[in-house]
């Protein structure tokens, strides 16, 4: 049986705070990358950060590599935020960067990787999650020469891609930890808010089929919808307890959204078109521990999707963290102190 556990946080003392280690940056360039759509990019650039150094065991395989996959609006830099790096990467901590080789790629369409705003605009290939995973695999195996992963861990979109990694490359990793994700097609409320954001851009007169000279602005009025979806009601109420505070919060969110390129943003939300790991969950061989949050509106716990799906994963387990003062909806994925006890549980029995 593979029951989902709903309970309090295990009583594990927090690790000592540590400054994030200094990462190394690089770019892996893939010639003539063919997307699922049949489109070909003469050169696909995949930007990445690494911390630590690879180590090879007696069998000659790398035995300390960890792949960390970010969410839809993020980059590999997300894992360097103090709430993650200071909890996980310091000396003696679970993913001590002096012991592990940590790989933090920027997904296609984001950060320093190839993206529409580089110049192709709406002529950039219409990638899906499968294309992101295929490119990540080429980066890991060919670009960095890593033939084995100790762990694949991802949050949100990265969590969804973690399920896909387990299915596509079942013998490549020792363990899998998808966080704040569901191994089922995007639907319901999750699809609706993505479609609203995408349609707002497509229907913006300033978008001009993606060939705008000045950034379109009309679509920005709905951009705070994502902030609404990924926060918890309790946290939002604390942030905006009055009408004046709520209106000021909206204005701040609106201003923050202006940093996004409209084409890049549109591609982010439409790239989940190919996501459907549910039929192949039985292919996963590595131990898998999925962590979701009860107050996550993007992945509603009350639907029971996680419990149903994880039962099909050999060695799979699911945890739904109860809502409480320490959770902030979907954004709890950025608070490693909340979910690292289960990371320890996952890593502890590994040889």
Residues of the chain with pLDDT > 90, as a percent, come to 93
Q: Are residues 119 and 9 in the same domain?
A: yes
For the stretch 81-102, pLDDT in tens is 999 999 999 999 999 999 999 9
pLDDT at 10: 36
The mean pLDDT of 247-270, rounded to a whole number, is 96
From the centroid of its chain, how far is CA 93? 22
pLDDT tens for 54-67 read: 999 999 999 999 99
Whether residues 36 and 180 share a domain: the answer is yes
Q: Where are the alpha helices (DSSP H) in 224-335?
A: 224-230, 233-239, 243-257, 262-270, 305-310
pTM given for the model: 0.93
User: What are 274's strand-pairing partners?
Assistant: none
Q: What is the dihedral angle through the alpha carbons of 65, 66, 72, 78, rounded to the nearest 10 degrees?
A: -100
Instruction: Identify the pLDDT of residue 225.
Output: 96
Give me the pLDDT at residue 19, please.
62
Average pLDDT over residues 23-30: 97
Count of domains in the chain? 2
Per-residue confidence band for 1, with pLDDT thresholds at 50, 70 and 90: very low
Domain that holds residue 222: 188-270
pLDDT of residue 22: 85
104 shares a domain with 80: yes
Task: Determine the pLDDT at residue 2.
Answer: 30
pLDDT for res 351: 83
What per-residue confidence (pLDDT) applies to 218? 97
Element (H, E) at 345: helix 336-347
Pair (60, 168) in one structural domain:
yes
Kindly report the CATH number assigned to the domain that includes residue 255: 1.10.1740.110
Structure tokens at 343: 């990371």
Please state the rounded mean pLDDT for residues 136-150: 98
* pLDDT tens-digit map of 304-335: 999 999 999 999 999 999 999 999 999 999 99
Residue 133: what are its φ and ψ, rounded to 5°? -65, -40
């Amino acid at each position: 049986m593979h029951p989902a556990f709903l309970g309090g946080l295990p009583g594990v003392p927090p690790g000592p705070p540590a400054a994030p280690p200094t990462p190394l940056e690089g770019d892996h360039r893939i010639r003539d990358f063919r997307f699922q759509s049949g489109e070909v990019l003469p050169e696909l650039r995949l930007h990445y950060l690494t911390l630590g150094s690879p180590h090879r065991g007696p069998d000659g395989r790398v035995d300390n590599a960890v792949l960390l996959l970010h969410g839809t609006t993020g980059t590999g830099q997300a894992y360097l935020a103090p709430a993650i790096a200071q909890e996980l990467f310091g000396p003696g901590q679970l993913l001590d960067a002096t012991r592990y080789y940590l790989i933090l790629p920027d997904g296609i369409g984001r950060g320093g990787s190839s993206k529409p705003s580089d110049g192709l605009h709406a002529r950039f290939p219409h990638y899906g999650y499968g294309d992101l995973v295929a490119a990540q695999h080429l980066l890991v195996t060919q670009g960095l020469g890593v033939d084995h992963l100790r762990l694949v861990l991802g949050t949100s979109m990265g969590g969804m891609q973690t399920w896909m990694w387990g299915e596509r490359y079942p013998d490549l990793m020792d363990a899998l930890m998808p966080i704040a994700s569901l191994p089922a097609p995007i639907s319901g409320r999750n699809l609706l808010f993505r479609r609203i954001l995408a349609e707002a851009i497509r229907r913006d007169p300033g978008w001009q089929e993606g060939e705008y000279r000045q950034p379109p602005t009309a679509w920005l009025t709905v951009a705070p919808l994502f902030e609404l979806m990924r926060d918890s009601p309790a946290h939002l109420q604390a942030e905006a307890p009055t009408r004046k505070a709520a209106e000021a919060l909206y204005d701040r969110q609106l201003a923050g959204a202006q940093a996004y390129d409209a084409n890049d943003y549109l591609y982010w939300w439409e790239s989940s078109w190919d996501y459907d790991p549910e039929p192949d969950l039985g292919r996963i061989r590595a131990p898998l521990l999925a962590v979701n949050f009860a107050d996550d509106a993007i992945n509603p716990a009350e639907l029971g999707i996680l419990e149903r799906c994880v039962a099909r994963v050999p060695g799979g387990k699911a945890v739904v963290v109860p809502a409480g003062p320490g959770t902030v909806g979907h954004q709890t994925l950025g608070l490693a102190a909340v979910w690292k006890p289960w990371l320890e549980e996952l890593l502890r029995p590994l040889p």
